[in-house]
């Protein structure tokens, strides 16, 4: 979704590298209606997912039509031949071509920072703490005085409360095409003593034809604002030529284990249920990359020993409930079926055998939403919200939020609050709309919530209104 869910990008191989506004003169056209019905779930109501993406299969009418008719990769951009009539495909192509012609004049909307939001009796607002960024992705706090953040194209920065921003050099080479790039950043629990910083990214190797990619995690130390002492601790296998579903969230638990998400890489019929493959899994490692001996499949022949849970699609949010120590993730479904899951050792979460979603072209790939042998989601979304980024609120700064989880939405450009009690979902509230495509949410050590947004590239802080 999805989250990732930038699969319609594969439709034309990221054929819309920027997005166009659906103006009033086109909203009633057949092409616009088809786009909203079949494409907006992944790529935004105004094609927000395609800003700055590369064009790999051409932007001409014939190339776009071929991508729509034939699809681009299993589980990603499906074939619409047969699902849509020739006339409908032609109308959709015309709408997209018209959109391409408007890309140069597009200006991203500016959020209204004067807006006062309300949750119950509590009022709050947004404050910009960093702007003019290029697709910020992950945030990690050192303390209340500074934090790190990543930019998708391959940059890492440290920001200080004073306002000073320092770029950290010697970042690993990444493939930022599609959903790939430099993604999450996480700090060792003893960062102040040992200096280890962890980065997840799309690692590339050259081969015959298109380059192959995978999800990788390396740890580094920092000297003179440069990454040094690199140690690669995770490399998903096998590599794939697809450019989506990397997953890439990381978090440490109370015992110091590192958890890593890896998406199914778009190969839903191959990877998620196969324990010999890394994709479509949550992995658990020691901080230095060693595999814990009590991992569930460590003694199973041909199984990837780092696997902790499996049967996942594309998890772009992960957080630990500080009250219970339980690890939670959310993952993108296809067209519908985004999930919030409590991660349990050795459990199978059922993708793609069961799902609340359907194919992007409107067809079904399963008629089942649950089975006794699979772990069911605690919460799910139909239609999709395309979730990305999450964190539990432990702060007293926000009345009524403490103990519950904040989840970003790429599709609806908002932050949702899912109320959790006894490991169950007790309802949901939309907190902030119109922010832009939300990539990460983190609570700082001083209790304030920070939200990173792709476009316009910014980091916001959520503050009570009375502090304004």
Give the DSSP letter string of 349-381.
Answer: --TTTS-S-B-TTS--S-S-S--TTSPPPSEEE
3-state secondary structure of 37: helix
CA distances (Å), origin 28, targets 31, 33, 95, 246: 8, 7, 11, 36
Query: Which one is catalytic: 43, 130, 245, 379?
Result: 245
Which strands sit side by side in the sheet containing 226-235, from one edge to the other?
A: 182-187, 197-205, 212-223, 226-235
Q: Which residue has the tokens 């901080």?
A: 287
Based on the number of CB atoms within 10 Å of its own CB, is 122 exposed (0-12), middle (13-18) or buried (19 or more)? Answer: middle
Instruction: Give catalytic status of residue 245 as yes or no.
Output: yes
CA nearest neighbour of 450 among 391, 386, 396: 391
Cβ-contact 311, 341 below 8 angstroms? no
Which strands sit side by side in the sheet containing 449-453, from one edge to the other?
A: 117-119, 122-133, 457-464, 449-453, 438-443
Give the DSSP letter string of 258-273.
Answer: EEEEE--TT-TTTSTT
How far is residue 384's CA from residue 334's CA, in Å, rounded to a whole number? 8
Which residues participate in catalysis according to the annotation?
A: 245
């Amino acid at each position: 979704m999805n989250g990732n869910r930038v699969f319609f990008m594969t439709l034309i191989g990221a054929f819309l590298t920027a997005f166009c506004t659906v103006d009033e003169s086109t909203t009633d056209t057949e092409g616009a209606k088809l786009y909203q019905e079949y494409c907006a779930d992944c790529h935004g109501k105004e094609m927000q997912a395609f800003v700055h993406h590369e064009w790999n299969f051409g932007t001409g009418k014939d190339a776009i039509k071929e991508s729509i008719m034939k699809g681009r990769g299993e589980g990603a951009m499906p074939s619409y031949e047969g699902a849509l009539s020739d006339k409908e495909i032609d109308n959709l192509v015309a709408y997209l071509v018209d959109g391409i012609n408007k890309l140069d004049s597009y200006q991203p909307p500016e959020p209204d920072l004067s807006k006062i939001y309300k949750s119950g009796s509590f009022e709050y607002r947004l404050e910009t703490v960093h702007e003019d960024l290029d697709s910020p992705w992950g945030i990690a706090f050192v303390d209340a005085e500074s934090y790190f953040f990543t930019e998708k194209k391959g940059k890492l920065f440290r920001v200080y409360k004073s306002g000073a921003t320092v770029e950290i050099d010697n970042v690993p080479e990444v493939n930022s095409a599609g959903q790939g790039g430099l993604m999450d950043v996480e700090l060792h629990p003893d960062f102040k003593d040992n200096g280890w910083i962890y980065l997840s990214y799309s690692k590339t190797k050259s081969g015959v034809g298109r380059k192959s990619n995978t999800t990788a995690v390396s740890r580094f130390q920092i000297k003179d604002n440069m990454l040094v002492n690199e140690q690669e601790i995770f490399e998903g296998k096998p590599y794939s030529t697809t450019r989506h579903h990397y997953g890439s969230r990381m978090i440490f638990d109370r015992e110091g284990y590192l958890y890593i998400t890896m998406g199914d890489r778009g190969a839903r019929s191959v990877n998620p249920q196969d324990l010999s493959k890394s994709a479509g899994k949550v992995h658990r490692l020691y901080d230095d990359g060693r595999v814990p001996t009590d991992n569930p499949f460590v003694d199973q022949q041909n199984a990837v020993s780092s696997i902790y849970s499996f049967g996942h699609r594309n998890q772009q949010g992960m957080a630990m409930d500080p009250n219970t120590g339980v690890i939670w993730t959310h993952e993108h479904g296809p067209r519908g079926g985004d999930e919030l899951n409590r991660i349990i050792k050795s459990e199978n979460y059922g993708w793609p055998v069961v799902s609340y979603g359907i194919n992007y072209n409107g067809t079904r790939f399963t008629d089942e939403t649950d089975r006794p042998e699979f772990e069911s989601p605690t919460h799910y979304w139909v239609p999709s919200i395309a979730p990305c980024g999450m964190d539990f609120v432990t702060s007293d700064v926000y009345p009524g939020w403490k103990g519950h989880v904040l989840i970003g939405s790429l599709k609806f450009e908002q932050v949702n609050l899912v109320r959790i009690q006894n490991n169950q979902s007790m309802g949901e509230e939309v907190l902030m709309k119109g922010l832009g495509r939300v990539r990460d949410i983190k609570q700082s050590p001083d209790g304030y919530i920070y939200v990173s947004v792709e476009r316009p590239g910014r980091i916001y802080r959520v503050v009570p209104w009375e502090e304004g």
